[in-house]
Amino acid sequence: MRFHKTVFLIIGLLLASACATSSSKNEAGSFSIKDGVVTKIYKAYTLNFNGAGPGIVEQEFKSKVEINVRSRIRSYRFSNFISGQKEPDVVVVLAISGRTAGLAIYDASGAKLAEYTRGRARNDSVFFKVASKKGVARIKWFLGNTTIVSAFESYDNKGQLGASEITFYKAGFGGE
C-alpha cells in the first residue's frame, strides 16, 4: 500500500512539473491561443535568387503566424516584419480546405500583390503551379509544427530560372 502511494506521489509531481513547464513556455511569448486561433512567433530566414541581379540575397526577419482551424478550413496568416517596423511589410494568407488551397500576398498598405487560387494540398504540403505566356511559377509550402518552409520558383517560357526564393520559418525561440 505504501509503495502505491509513493508511485502516485511521484507521478503527481511529474505531472505538476510538466504543467508548470508548459505554462512558462506560454509566458515566454512563443505562442498564444485566443478565440481558437494559435499565434506563434517565428524567426524566418530567406534566400532570394534573381536571374537579373547579382547572386543570392540572404535575409533574417521575424514573422507572426496566426493558425486558424475551423470546421474544414485551415488558414495561416504570415505577418512578416522584414524591415523591423511595428507593422508588417508583407502579409501572406494561405487557406486550405480538403485537397484545395488558395494563397494571397499583400503589401504593408493592404494592397493585394498576388493571388493563387488553384493549389493542391496533400497532408501538410501545399503546391501551386501557375502557367502564363511569360512562363511558369511554382510555389510549395511544407507546414510542420515548429518549422514551415515556403519555396517559390519562376521560370521563363524557355524554361530558364528567373527567380527563386526559399524561406524557413522556425518557432520556439521564446518570442525572439
Q: Which residues of the chain have pLDDT under 70?
A: 1-31, 35, 54, 172-176
Q: Torsions phi, psi of 52, nearest 5?
A: -85, -20
- C-beta atoms surrounding 132 within 10 Å: 8
Signed CA dihedral, 27, 68, 106, 160: sign only: positive
The domain covering 28-171 belongs, at the CATH homologous superfamily level, to Calycin beta-barrel core domain (2.40.128.20)
CA terminus-to-terminus distance, the chain:
49
Give 92-116 pLDDT, tens digit per residue.
Answer: 999 999 999 999 999 999 999 999 9
**Domain parsing of the chain, residue ranges:** 28-171
- Return the DSSP state at 101: E
pTM, 2 dp: 0.74
